[in-house]
Amino acid sequence: MGAIKVVFFYFQKHKLLAIMDTLENKEFRYDSCTEKSFFPGLISRRYKNIGVKYTILFFILAHATLFSSYLPPTISTLMNSSRRGAEGQGLYVLPYYSWMPFKYNTDDSFLLALGYQAIPMFSYAYSIVGMDTLFMNILNSIGFNLEMIQGAFLTIRNRIIKQTGKSIYKSSILLDSEELKLKLCNEMKKICHHLQIIYKVCEDLENVHKYLTLAQMTATLFILCSCLYLVSSTPIASKQFYAEIVYMVAMGFQLTLYCWFGNEVTLKAAELPLYIWQCDWLTADNNFKASMILTMARARKPLYLTAGNFAPLTLSTFVSIIKGSYSFFTVLKSTNE
């Protein structure tokens, strides 16, 4: 999967960069509104902190996985155990199976073999963490934009009155002034255009990433199954047991990143009609109300990111994969017994 993600980024990086540039467009910025607790700056910082936190956590788990495999044999060798001077590779077992261009039947050669194997393993780990957290943070940015759109719809009247002065609001109790009508319609067009761009970004991301997501989901399904099998058949006091536990936790967290942030995008898109309905539209003109109705009708269609058009990235998919892994594990275990 690490190699696949490197190749994927090489050929698709221009599309991913275009998506990121679109999401960072400064054209769609909105003023804060204290009356309805809409503070874009605070929302932006909250989403940034979420992205940084989960990126660092996944980075730590990736290192923990490799360190749990490489530290025990390294420490054991450096402590000058009774293996020194013994011949035969059976006493020197590498964490992962691989062909070596030299023998590693002494302490020094075994340490060299560990380093020789660890360098590409860490490189692949960085590739996996980089691509997965990139996808996660794109989803996080889409969620941020959807929350901004929610707040923009909810506070549209308050923000326009604040920008232009309250005098234009007092022309009539039942009808808005012509100036306010025009400004409300222009702001509605801006928000709707922003929403259309986010829908297009989701479509582009889906087209670019769906097969890689499907490959990751399938790999995770069988990795979790094999980890469960190895954990169940390995003595608890052994080093391999703890290494498998750490690896299984890291893979579960990787799956959580995909499904959790995809689920957040789906939920925020589904909440849009409610925010549009609450935008204080009673005294608006028919053009404004027509835009509301059309946008609400479009927002009723669920917004999903999928794994190869087979399964949406939601928490229910996460639960299904966990259940599937456990089902395969029970079949494997019963067959082996």
Comparing 95 with 137, which gets the higher pLDDT? 137
Residue pair 331/225 in contact by the 8 Å Cβ criterion:
no
The per-residue pLDDT for 105 is: 83
Comparing 173 with 119, which gets the higher pLDDT? 119
Q: Encode pLDDT of 1-25 as tens digits.
A: 888 898 999 999 999 999 999 999 8
Check whether 86 has a pLDDT greater than 60.
no
Q: Encode pLDDT of 272-297 as tens digits.
A: 999 999 988 888 888 999 999 999 99
218 belongs to a structural domain: yes
CA distance 178 to 118: 70
Percent of the chain with pLDDT over 90: 58
What integer is the mean pLDDT of 124-152? 95
CA distance 189 to 194: 8
CA distance 85 to 109: 11
Q: Encode pLDDT of 99-136 as tens digits.
A: 888 888 888 888 999 999 999 999 989 999 999 999 99
Average predicted confidence (pLDDT) for the chain = 88
pLDDT band at 216 (very low <50, low <70, confident <90, very high): very high
The per-residue pLDDT for 297 is: 93
79 belongs to a structural domain: no
| Phi, psi dihedral angles at 335 (to 5 degrees) | -65, -40
CA distance 309 to 210: 7
202 belongs to a structural domain: yes
pLDDT band at 54 (very low <50, low <70, confident <90, very high): very high
pLDDT band at 171 (very low <50, low <70, confident <90, very high): very low
56 belongs to a structural domain: no
170 belongs to a structural domain: yes
Check whether 89 has a pLDDT greater than 80.
no
Percent of the chain with pLDDT over 70: 93
169 belongs to a structural domain: yes
CA distance 31 to 38: 8
58 belongs to a structural domain: no
Judged by phi (left if over 0) then psi (alpha if -120 to 50, else beta), residue 40 lies in: alpha
Check whether 217 has a pLDDT greater than 80.
yes
Q: What residue numbers bound the domain in which 267 lies?
A: 2-37+125-336
Q: Encode pLDDT of 175-215 as tens digits.
A: 667 888 888 999 999 999 999 999 999 999 999 999 999 99
101 belongs to a structural domain: no
Q: Name every residue whose Cβ is closer than 8 Å to that of residue 122 and which is 6 or more positions away in sequence.
A: 66
CA distance 215 to 1: 8
pTM of the model: 0.90
The per-residue pLDDT for 42 is: 94
Number of domains in the chain: 1
Q: Residue 38: helix, strand or coil by DSSP? A: strand
Q: Encode pLDDT of 311-332 as tens digits.
A: 999 999 999 999 999 998 888 8
The per-residue pLDDT for 230 is: 87
